[in-house]
Amino acid sequence: MKIRKAVIPAAGLGSRMLPAAKTVPKEMFPVADRPVLHYIVQEAVDAGIEEIIILTNRCKTVMHDYFDYTPELEEKLRAAGKHAEVAELRAIADMADITFVRQKQTLGLGHAVWCTRRIVGNEPFAVLLGDDLMRSKTPVIGQLISASEGFGAAAVGVQAVPRSEIGKYCSLDVTHREGNVYDVHGMVEKPRPEQILSNFAILGRYVLTPRIFEILENLPAGHGGEIQLTDGLNALCREEPMVAVDFEGERHDTGSLEGYFRAMLHFSAEHPRLAPVLAEFLAGRDKK
């Protein structure tokens, strides 16, 4: 079945990005010239997604505004002859059909995904975490959609992370299938050293079947007292086929200060106006 819908959980509190995230959602922090969320929506659209469901909370209405029209601003720009800018602003608002869903309580990623069950309905769907920013040749979620369709399975995007880091993610029990694809047999969220199953961790991209909603509905709280998507997937992969795709692309955790800064450097180095500024700074010739 064609994957038409994508869920973007973006309702976290941004507690690793304070004080900046106190009033501005971390998903709205700019990387080069646009917010993180813009790139994530673009990735989904580039992969053929038609409908996007963004999970927000009561502090994040600015995310709604970003994907709306801005008549006053457009009028000013038009009067100044800045038609390319007007077209660009319009294109952002027309990028996709976006629905916003409030997660009223911060009860975890699994709960956030569950909150979208009525809008997603009874069809497979993609999930793109709102702070995992990708740089890749092919949209990472598109790589997962191809694998999901090709293997008739749910799919998760993984990369090997150093053993010392895996406790920050989840760890997967996998066997090699072919190429960059593995069969998934189990997984554990935020593993302690003795719980590590492999160095493969899911990095923010999923293609799931609607069965996950029923599983999440009855799932007890897991790590950190939150409803964990990983616990739901651990149950799902025992009932239905699930593949892990060791995806092509570079992942940036923009929910951490260091990851955000690295994303800024990588994306700015490719931006026509920012690249020269970065080069001058690195050469010790910053003009100011």
Question: 144-163: which residues touch ligand G1P (CB under 6 A)?
Answer: none
Task: Report the C-alpha gap between 198 and 188 in whole angstroms.
Answer: 10
Q: Find out whether 212 and 113 touch, Cβ atoms under 8 Å.
A: yes
For the chain, how far is it from start to end, CA to CA, in angstroms? Answer: 54
- Taking CB under 6 A as the criterion, the residue among 41, 54, 129, 227 binding ligand G1P is 129
Comparison of 82 and 190: residue with beta carbon closer to ligand G1P: 190
Distance from the Cα of residue 153 to its chain's centroid: 20
Place of tokens 């069969």: 183
Is 57 a binding residue for ligand G1P by CB under 6 A? The answer is no
Comparison of 148 and 230: residue with beta carbon closer to ligand G1P: 230
Task: Report the C-alpha gap between 238 and 277 in whole angstroms.
Answer: 51
Q: Find out whether 49 and 6 touch, Cβ atoms under 8 Å.
A: yes
Question: 105-124: which residues touch ligand G1P (CB under 6 A)?
Answer: 109
- Taking CB under 6 A as the criterion, the residue among 202, 208, 227, 242 binding ligand G1P is 202
Q: Which region among 86-94, 114-122, 196-204, 267-275 touches ligand G1P (by CB under 6 A)?
A: 196-204
Comparison of 120 and 202: residue with beta carbon closer to ligand G1P: 202
Q: How far is the CB of 8 from ligand G1P (least distance, A)?
A: 13
Is 216 a binding residue for ligand G1P by CB under 6 A? The answer is no
- Taking CB under 6 A as the criterion, the residue among 201, 208, 219, 244 binding ligand G1P is 201
- Taking CB under 6 A as the criterion, the residue among 35, 130, 204, 222 binding ligand G1P is 204
Comparison of 235 and 277: residue with beta carbon closer to ligand G1P: 235
- Taking CB under 6 A as the criterion, the residue among 7, 132, 145, 215 binding ligand G1P is 132
Return the structure tokens found at 199.
């160095």
CA-CA-CA-CA torsion sign (80, 86, 88, 93)? positive
Q: Which region among 177-185, 199-207, 268-276, 277-285 touches ligand G1P (by CB under 6 A)?
A: 199-207
Q: How far is the CB of 26 from ligand G1P (least distance, A)?
A: 12
Residues within the interface to ligand G1P (CB under 6 A): 109, 129, 132, 169-170, 189, 201-204, 229-230
